[in-house]
Each structure stands twice: as C-alpha cells, then as structure tokens.
Structure 1
Amino acid sequence: MIHPALLRKQRVVLSVLLALIIATFAIAMGIGYSSLSYDRLIPTLLGQGTFKEEFVLFSIRLPRMIVTLLAGMALALSGSILQGIARNDLADPGVIGINSGAGVALAVFFLFFPVKAGAFVYLLPLVAFAGAIVTACLIYLFSYSKKSGLQSVRLVLTGVGFSMALSGIMIVLISSAEREKVDFIAKWLAGNIWGSDWPFIWAILPWLVILVPFAFYKSQRLNLLSLNEPVVIGVGLEIEKERLVLLVTAVALAAAAVSITGGIAFIGLMAPHIAKALVGPRHQLSLPIAILIGGWLLLFADTIGHNLVDPEGIPAGIMVALIGAPYFIYLLLRK
C-alpha cells in the first residue's frame, strides 16, 4: 500500500510539471524566426488570426512542439523501464546502443529503399523498431550469463561498445551516399527534430497510446524486477519472460521516438532519476512523473536550441547532451 502522503506529493509534482509544460508551450508559440505576439495567441488558437499567424502557429510551431513533447515522453518511459529490468541506473536507450541500432536501420532504409512520401512517415517507426530490437537482443545475449543472470555492469559496457560499432557502420553507410541524403542523416545523428509536421504526430501517437498504459499496468512487475533475482524468484515471477516483454516495450518506445526526432540520448537517463528523487523508487509513482519530465526536458531543450542561433538553431540532441553528459559522468562516479 502506498502512503497517502506520497500520493499527495505525486499529485503536487504532476501539477507543477503540467504547469511547466503549458508555460513552455505558451512561450515557444510566441518566439521564433517569425514572431507571433502573445496577445494574438488565443485569438489565433480560436481561428481568428490572420493567414500568416495561423500558418506559423498551426503548420510550423504546434506540430514541432507536440512531436517533441511526445518523443521526450517516450524516451523517458523507455529509460525508466530499462533501468528497472537491468537494475542499473546508467541504462538509457541512447547510451546502451538501442538508438544507434534504430539509426542504422533508418539509414539503410532511407538510402536503399525509396518509398513514397506518404507511406515513408508511417514506416519509419517500424523500421527503427526492427533495427533497435535486433540490437537490443544482441546486447541482452552478450550481457546474460546462465550462472548469474543479466549482469547490469556488462549490459552498459556491451551497450556502449555496440553504440560505437554502429556509429562506425553509420559513417561507412553515408560515406558513399548522395550529399542530400548525407545531410539528412547528419541532422538525424545530431538529434535535430526533423519530423515537425502533423503526419509525424499520427505516426508516433499510436505507439504511446498502446505502450504507456501497458507500462503502467506492468509497474508492479518492474518494482519486483528491480530487486535481487533470488527475491524475485521467491515470489514466483517468471523473470526472463517479464524482462523480455518489458525490453520489447522499452525498445518500441525508443524506436518510435528517435525515428521522428533523431538520435537523442540522456532523456531516458535523467528523467527517471529525477522522478525517483521526487517520489521514491516505486514505479506506480515515478513513471507518470518521469514521462512528464522527459517531455518537458526535450521540449525545453528544443525551444532554447531552436531560437538560440539563427537561422537553423542548435539541434535538441546537442542541447540535451550538454546537460546529460555531465549528469552521466556524475552517476558513473557515484556508482
């Protein structure tokens, strides 16, 4: 049973995070290359703006912000699940190579399998998932031992090794590609939010609608998997079956996010830690908070980076890395 005081604290934190997201949305809607005055936001949202105001808001800014928010949520939830099943605070889809696996699959698909624009958007998450799940399975196999089970330290080290190897494969792939396609892949690698139109929202949204409730449903199992294996076996949980189901869930969330936003790391590392620091380690409490923190972090990073330097701005992936890399080093030294 969860103490009522913790539930109250969770509600307060959720309310603050929702307010932060709304405030960031409001600020982001009004700033940019084509400014939109704040006193015109509400009339424009209600359909009473000029053609230019409605085009800037509904065709450029809102889709990008919604995509960024959804992707940040997916990456945060993926990181929370990975840290739970691996029992390792350093597990993150970007750090352990899952994002790189998705990226290689996307690069191969983009370079060698020309598809019509309409179908391309909706195929991206599936292609990214295929690459990410193959990578995740290989990392899992190399990290698993029959005697001691899944070794968390080996998981991170193996994942980092796979990430470096896949980055090398990516360089080989783009070295002989056309300049236009190389530019696209380079932007993906930098974590540039390139999928900034309404079809990309419909491409990523079904994955979250299905997988977020499923992760909440499995939150109690995540609590158990975070314990030592003898304890988990003692309560009758099928460890490997639950791990594999949750691993597929985490990989699917990460793949759906990075297929639209590019190679963004550290969101899945930071958001779960901040959530657990606020409400404790129980996943029933921390998962909703981690999701909102991840969404807000990526939205905030993209808003700052996109408006910091004209005209292209700084990719969100680089802005997140500037925050996340020192945090990763801190966790590595602490653990």
Structure 2
Amino acid sequence: MNIQNAHFIEKNTMIDLEEFLCPEVREKIVKLPKDIKNVMEEIRLRINQPLMIYANDQDYFISKNGELLSEEKGSYRISKKNIENTLQFITNYSIYSVEEEIKRGYITVQGGHRVGIVGKVLYDGSGVKTIKEFTGLNLRISREKIGISSSILSYLINHKKEFMNTLIISPPQCGKTTLLRDIIKNLSDGIPSLGLKGLKVGVVDERSEIGACFQGIPQNNLGIRTDVLDACPKAQGMMMLIRAMSPQVIATDEIGREEDSIAIQEALLAGIKLITTVHGKSLEDVLCKKVIGELVKEGIFERIIVLSNSQGVGTIEKIMDGYTFKDLLKSPMKNKVAN
C-alpha cells in the first residue's frame, strides 16, 4: 500500500527561522532556492568551517553569495562572531535566561525549531553545569505536517472503537516524532470517521521535541484535549499525569530506562493507553534492548509501527500485531514525513 499522495498540511517555517541567524549568515540563507528551503532539515554553523545545510539526504555548502555548492571550495567560512551573534538573536540578548536549556545542549525557539549547541562543557559531580566558549550551532528545522497519520489510524483502533497501545520503531531521522505528533493530535481531536471520540492525552515531552514548547506554549498542534509536561523526565512525568490530569492516553518519546517501565506498568493498571517510540531498525533490534524489549515480549504494545527511509523519509515498513508480530500491511507505505 502506498500513501505517497496522502493529503496533509505543512506549515511554512523558514521565514521565522531565518530571523534567528546573524545578518552575515541570514543574507546567504535567504538567497537559497525555494525548492531547497522546502526540504532543508538543518543549518550548520561551525567555527572556522564552511556554512552548510542538510537537505535531500545530503550536505550542501553555501558560497559567500548564497549559492549552493557541492564542494567545500568557495564556501563561506563561519567565524566566532557569527556564532556569538546568532546566539544573541536566538536568546534575545540574554543567554543567562536559557541556562537550563543550554545545560541540555539545545534551545527551543519560537516556531518549534531546535538549536543544538556545542562548546566547552563545565561539569561537576551533579552533572553538566553549563556550556561556554561556543564552537558550533545546529539549527534543526521543525516541519509540522498535519494529516500525515490519517492513512494508518484505522490500524490503531480496535473493533470496540478504542485506541490500542502503540510503539513506533524508527532509526534516527526517519519521521517518528512527526508521525507521533500527528497521531496525538488525531486522538485528542477525535476521529469521527473511525468512531473515535476525542481522548484526553497527556504528553511527557522530556526533550521538548513533541510539542516543541517555547515559553511553555507548544509550537506544534497536539490537539484540543492534550496536556504537555515540557522538559520533564518520562517516568516522573507519567506519574504526575496519572495523579493529576486523568489522561486516557499517555504519549512519550524514546522509552528506555528501567523507571520508564515501572511508570508504564502503573499507567496500564490505571487503564491508560500508551503511545511511545524507540530507536531501532527492526523489531528484532528492539527485542534485544533490555527494558523496551521486555515490554514488547510481554505484549504491552498491541500495535508496532516500523519506519525507515527505504522509499524516502517516513516509509512505513510494517504495522504489526503486538501479540503475533504478524505484519498487517500488504506492502510498505511511502509516507513523506520528516523528523
């Protein structure tokens, strides 16, 4: 089955993102062709290295005149001043106001874009104190695609019109978070065509990737019945939601720790459904993982979705029954999403 032509809405994000770049870099990025901007995933700034972008599954260099280059020769070189000025724009001239985010190695900005940061790490016995002497930035472009999960939702609803516990397995940059977001939105708003009423969804967004909150407000549309705990450890967040927000579904990204498993068991005992993700190339890969592998073997997840980029980012290789591991798809579905 192929859903290459599935209908979805993608918000235009590049104009907002360009405003966070220092003028010297911005004037080059704005000149890029529109078709490249539409698929661009990252803008890379590294001190004394060429300005680069990542798009179409490959790196491009940018010239001093804003032209795309396939080779390093003639590319614009990033200076320390470029890094420092871009950080000033990103933090609204107050780096100290985002110290807690810097500790985690990234800053989420308006529009849901994420800026990764590297430099000298100050560390003590309690963990990372901060990062200083910044040497590189990675502006990861948030591309929310509404409607991208529509063609697979029928696989996730049982004959009682109930959502089934779902696990999404995916290698990096294969669209798992984008798909997760849209499933959350649909569950929260309700799916009349499938007879599913809107559900109260609690999201534990430990790395601020699902809702991409800026000043506490999710920049991505997660639906009208969704509550988000931003930058909260998964295990603690799940317990907080169970005790205070009466969710019918709990959504998280990248389950893996022992305490996560304990919180999942508590949620299931409370009758709460679960949707989460894990890094992996296949079911066999995940079964080898200690925590999540045990949950899969116990039949916790009634549906297992496997993503890849075999036919482009977001290819749905399999949708499996969580008990028999039988593939419910006749063929992989090409689903154009981006992580």
State the TM-score, normalized to the length of structure 1.
0.24
State the TM-score, normalized to the length of structure 2.
0.24
Q: RCO (CA 8 Å, sep 6+): is it higher in 1 or 2? A: 1
Counting helix residues as a fraction of each chain, which structure ranks higher? 1
